[in-house]
Structure 1
Amino acid sequence: MISQRAWRNAATRAGAPGGLRFTARQLYYELNRSRQPLYRIGRRPRFTLPPAVSENAFAAALARFGPPPGVVSPAPARSSTAPEPVDLYDYGLPRLLVCQDAEIAAMLRANELHMESACPVYALDDLPLDPRLGTALERGDGTVFVLHDASLAGLAAVAAAREAFPEATPVEPLGLRPAHAAALHLTRRRGEGGIPGAQARLWAPWERDWLARGNTAEVAAVPPARLLRTVHRLVRGFRKVRTVPRLRQLSAVGYLTWPEG
C-alpha cells in the first residue's frame, strides 16, 4: 500500500529542483528509492537493488491518486500538421539524441534539454527521420547519441539506430551499462536473459553475466535531475576519438561516465 503522503513526497523529490517534469515510470523509481536506504551509500561497493515497490501497488496508487503535477506522457518529437520552417535543415547539426524509451524522450524535451544542449531529441520509434536531418548531421560533422536501458533490448536499440543513419554518421551509445547501474545503485528488473552480442564484447565479464541472468536497469531508474545533468554533460562534452583504436572501441560500446557530475 502506498499512502497519499508518500505519493506526494515522491512527486516532490522527482520534480526537484525547480519543478522538473518527469514520467510516471520515474515516479515509480522515486518511490522505490524512498524505501531503499542502501541507495544512499557511496558508489563503492557497486550493486543494483531489487524493487521495493511492486508494479501492482504502483498501478493501484496511480489509479487512486492520479498522475501528480509534472508528469509527462509520450509525444512525437515532430508534428505532422505543423509546417517546418524552410531553413530548419539548412545548417550543420553537431549532435542528435535518440532515446530507446519514448517517455524519456518526451521528458527530456519537456525539460528543454534539446534547447540547453542544442541537441534535437527523438525516440527510437521516430526513426527513420527526415533525410534532411541526416544531411544536416553530415554537414555539421555531427554525432548521433543513443540513450538506452541496460538490457538486451537496449543493445538492440543501439543497433537499430546505427541502421537508421548513414554509415558515415557516427552513432555513439551513452548507456546505460550494467556498470553505470551498479555505480548508481539503481533498481533492477527481471527481463529476458540471453548472451549479449558483439556490442558488449568490451564490457567487463560481470556485466555480460549480469545481463545473461536476465537483469535489466532502465534509464527511468536514474533520478530525473541526475539524468538531465548527465545527458547534457555527455552530449556537450563528447569529443570524437579518431586516432587511438582502443579508445574508439570503448566509445563504441558506451564507455562513458554516468556517476560523476
Structure 2
Amino acid sequence: MLPIYLGTRQLGRIGFLTQEFLFPESQLKDLLDRWQQINGSILKILPPPNQGNTPATVNPDVTAYSFDRLVVCDSAAIAQLLIANNFHFENNCAILSITGYPQSIFDTTMQMLRRNPDLKVYAVHDCNPRGIGLVHRLRTNASWFLNSEIAIIDIGLTPRQIIATKRGMFIQSSPESAQAAKELPEEIRQSLSTEELAWLESGKFVELESFTPQRLIKVVQKGIAGSRDIETDDSNLLLVGDRGSDIYVVQSFG
C-alpha cells in the first residue's frame, strides 16, 4: 500500500505528466465480467446508453411547459450518468447529449426548450479537440441553437481549467489527438489562448470519465449555481463570444 500512496501523492504534485492505462478497455471488461461471475452483478454499473429511436409518449400537459436550463454533454454516457443520478430533478434542468440522447424524447424536449427565450445552456465535454468544439456545434447547428441569442456556458473541461488546476487530472496523450487539434476550425482556435492551443497540439487530452461521478456532478452543479445571474455576478465566468450571442467559460473545474 505504501508505494500506491506515495505514487498517488507524487502524481498530485506533478503538473502535466501524461499517463497510460495499465489495462486496455477490452481486457478491463474481461476482468470485470470474470469478477461478476464469481461475486455477482454490480448493480450500480450503468449499461451502455440505449440509442433506440422509438418516440416516448409524453403527457401533453407536460409539453406545455419549458425549462430554464439545459445541460448538453458531448457523449451519451455522461448524459446517462447525470440522468441516472437524478441530476435533472434536483437541478430542474433538461439533459441531452450532442448525439441526440435520449433519442426517445429528444425532439419533444427541444420543442419545449425553444419556448423559453431566457434559456441558459451548459456545455459539458471532454478536454479534447472534439469536446472543445461542442459550443461551436451548439451555436452553428440548425438542430440546436443556430441564429439564437441564448447564453451558452462552457462548464468544461477546457485546457484553461487543466492548466490552472495542475493536479488531480488523468492526462493522456495520442498522435491522433494532436493532429485533430491542428485541424480545429479557425473559429474555435480564436477562442483559445496560445498556451491552450499548444497543450492540445501536443496531443494531450482528459476525459470526463476519468473523474468520479460525485466530483463530476458537483462540478456541473457548481457551474450552474455560479452563473444563475450572469448580469450581476460573473466573477467565476469568462466571456469568450462577441458575435451577438453570449458564450461563457467557467474558469475552474472542481
Q: Name the counterpart of 1:205.
A: 194
Task: Kindly indicate whether the alpha-carbon contact (under 8 Å) linking 1:92 and 1:138 is maintained by their aligned counterparts in 2.
Answer: yes
Question: Counterpart in 2 of 1:85?
Answer: 59
Residue type of the alignment partner of 2:63: Y
> SS where residue 187 of structure 1 aligns?
coil
Q: Over residues 31-89 of structure 1, what are the superposed CA-to-partner deviations in whole Å (9 max), with x where a residue is unaligned?
A: xx9895147736xx643541252315423323422473311134359973531011223
**Corresponding residue for 2:110?**
133
The equivalent of 1:178 in structure 2 is 159
Contact 2:120–2:150, Cα closer than 8 Å, also in 1: yes
- What does the per-residue CA deviation read over 1:195-228, in whole Å, with 9 as the maximum and x for residues that have no partner? 2443343444322111112211111112211101
For the Cα contact (< 8 Å) 1:95–1:142, is it kept in 2?
A: yes
Contact 2:82 2:88 in 1 (8 A): yes
The aligned residue for residue 192 of structure 1 is 177
The alpha carbon displacement at 1:140 in A equals 5.5
Contact kept, 8 Å, 1:93 with 1:141, in 2: the verdict is no
CA distance in 1, matches of 2:83, 2:216: 13
Q: CA deviation at 1:179?
A: 3.5
Match of residue 230 from structure 1: 219
- Aligned counterparts of 1:39 and 1:114: Cα–Cα separation in 2: 37
Corresponding letter in the other structure for 2:240: Q
User: Cα–Cα, structure 1 residues 176 and 211, in superposed 2: closer, same or farther, change >3 Å?
Assistant: same
CA distance in 1, matches of 2:120, 2:229: 9
Number of aligned residues: 225
1:165 to 2:160 alignment? no
Instruction: Give 1:26's aligned residue.
Output: none
Indicate the RMSD between aligned Cα atoms, in angstroms: 3.4
Deviation of the 1:111 alpha carbon = 0.6
Match of 1:37 in 2: 8
Once the two structures are TM-superposed, the CA of residue 175 in structure 1 deviates from its matched residue by 0.8
Partner of 1:55: 24
Give 1:146 shift: 1.4
CA distance in 2, matches of 1:160, 1:208: 19
How far apart, in 1, do the equivalents of 2:171 and 2:212 lie?
14
For residue 173 of structure 1, give the secondary structure of its aligned residue in structure 2.
strand
TM-score by length of 2: 0.73
- More deviation in 230-239 or 110-119? 230-239
SS in 2 for 1:118: coil
Matched, 1:75 2:44: no
Q: Distance in 2 between matches of 1:152 and 1:132?
A: 27
Q: 1:132 to 1:111 in 2, by over 3 A?
A: closer
Determine the C-alpha separation between the residues in 2 that align with 1:153 and 1:34.
Answer: 34
Gaps of 5+ in 2: none
Q: CA 1:77–1:147 in 2, change beyond 3 Å: closer, same or farther?
A: farther
Matched, 1:214 2:203: yes
Give % identity.
20
Contact 1:147 1:173 in 2 (8 A): yes
Aligned residue type for 1:192: S
Higher relative contact order (CA 8 A, sep 6+): 1
